[in-house]
Amino acid sequence: MYTVSDRRAMSRQSESFRLVRAQLVVLLLATAAATLAERLDSRVPAALAAVLYALTIVTGLRTSSRRARAHWQAHRAVAETVKSLAWQYMACGGPFRSGAPDPDGLFAERLEERLRELRRMGWRDPRGAADLGAAQITASMRAVRARPFAARRDVYLRDRVLEQVVWYGNRAAGSHRVAVRWSTVTAVLTALALVAAVLRALGMTGGWDVTGLASAAAAAGVAWQEVRRHRPLTYAHTLIRTELETLRITMSTTVTEDGWAEAVAEAERLVSPLHTEWLTRFGV
Residue 236, classified by CB atoms within 10 Å of its CB into exposed (0-12), middle (13-18) or buried (19+), is: buried
Cα angle: 146, vertex 152, 157; to 5 degrees? 155
Question: For residue 3, what pLDDT is reported?
Answer: 87
* Portion of the chain with pLDDT greater than 90, in percent: 50
Q: What is the DSSP letter of 130?
A: G
pLDDT of 245-283, one tens digit each?
Answer: 999 999 999 999 999 999 999 999 999 988 998 998 876
* Calpha distance 234→283 (Å, rounded): 8
Q: pLDDT of 213-228, one tens digit each?
A: 888 899 999 999 988 8
Close Cβ partners of 87 (under 8 Å, ≥ 6 residues apart)? 93, 156, 160, 264, 268
- Distance, in Å, from the CA atom of 96 to the CA atom of 89, rounded to the nearest integer, reads 5
Amino acid at site 75:
H
Task: Tell whether pTM > 0.95.
Answer: no
Rg value, the chain, Cα: 25
274-277 long-range contacts, Cβ below 8 Å, gap at least 24?
A: 275/240, 276/233, 276/236, 276/237, 276/240
Distant-in-sequence, close-in-space partners of 147: CB < 8 Å, separation ≥ 6? 155
Q: Is the pLDDT of residue 284 over 90?
A: no
Above 90 in pLDDT, residue 66?
no
Among 63, 61, 36, 59, smallest CA distance to 47 is for: 36
Which is nearest to 79 in space by CA: 8, 148, 25, 133?
8
Mean pLDDT of 68-84: 88
The answer to whether residues 91 and 28 touch, using CB atoms and an 8 Å cutoff, is no
